[in-house]
């Protein structure tokens, strides 16, 4: 299931529900991304913009690619949109499979795609003003591992 959420969400409760409902799973892998407040510019919050149609479509395409590449029993993606404060979850990716490798790798791939291939735009609100953030060379190298 894929959800774009304009409200704060509890990834740990969702993960528990996901693991319980993943019949036959021998492995559940998950990633939770949080708004990081440390650093030289003291970020207080992020604004996450999205596209009204293409964002959901792009996540669905990434999920389809993961399902084609690995034998997954289920997957769950929740991504925040709107105003997200420091410490709050931005993203949950969870994957369930019979064995750990499929769960780990598909979770890793989905996160790399969410970073660079899905129409989100991230603006940091800091003590010194606002700034748009773009993925770095490392994000693109990570993404390129998956073809």
Partner 1 sequence: MAEIIFYGKFQDIIGPSLELELPKDVASLKALDTYLAGAYPGFSGMLSNARAKIVLNDVIVQTDMAISDGDRIEFLPPFSGG
Q: How far is CA 67 from CA 40, 44, 124, 136, in A?
A: 39, 36, 33, 27
Could you give the CA distance from residue 120 to residue 27 in angstroms, rounded to a whole number? 29
| Size of the chain in residues | 147
Q: How far is CA 136 from CA 53, 84, 103, 132, in A?
A: 25, 21, 26, 13
Count of residues near partner 1 by CB under 8 A: 24
Contact between 10 and partner 1 per CB under 8 A: no
Nearer to partner 1, 18 or 120 (CB): 120
Stretch of 8-16, 37-45, 95-103, 119-127 lying at the interface with partner 1 (CB under 8 A): 119-127
CB of 130: closest distance to partner 1 in angstroms? Answer: 8
Nearer to partner 1, 69 or 117 (CB): 117
Binding-residue pattern over the window 98 to 117 for partner 1, x denoting contact by CB under 8 A: -------------x--xxxx
Burial class (CB in 10 A: 0-12, 13-18, 19+), 15: middle
Return the structure tokens found at 33.
Answer: 């991304």
Range 24-63, binding partner 1 (CB under 8 A): 33, 48-49, 51, 53-54
Q: Are 92 and 112 in contact (CB under 8 A)?
A: no
CB of 4: closest distance to partner 1 in angstroms? Answer: 11
Candidates 42, 121, 128, 144; binder of partner 1 (CB under 8 A) is 121
Site of interaction with partner 1 (CB under 8 A): 33, 48-49, 51, 53-54, 79, 90-91, 111, 114-123, 132-135
């Amino acid at each position: 299931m894929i959800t774009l959420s304009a409200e704060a969400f509890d990834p740990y409760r969702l993960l528990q529900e996901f693991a319980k409902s993943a019949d036959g799973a021998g492995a559940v892998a998950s990633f939770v991304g949080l708004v990081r407040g440390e650093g030289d510019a003291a970020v207080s919050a992020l604004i996450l913009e999205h596209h009204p149609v293409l964002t959901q479509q792009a996540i669905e395409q990434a999920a389809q690619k993961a399902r084609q590449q690995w034998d997954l029993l289920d997957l769950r993606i929740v991504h925040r949109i709107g105003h997200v404060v420091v410490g709050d979850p931005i993203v949950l990716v969870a994957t369930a499979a019979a064995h750990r490798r499929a769960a780990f790798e598909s979770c890793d791939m989905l996160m790399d795609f969410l970073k660079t291939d899905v129409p989100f735009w991230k603006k940091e609100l800091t003590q010194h003003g606002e700034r748009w953030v773009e993925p770095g060379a490392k994000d693109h190298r990570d993404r390129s591992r998956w073809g």
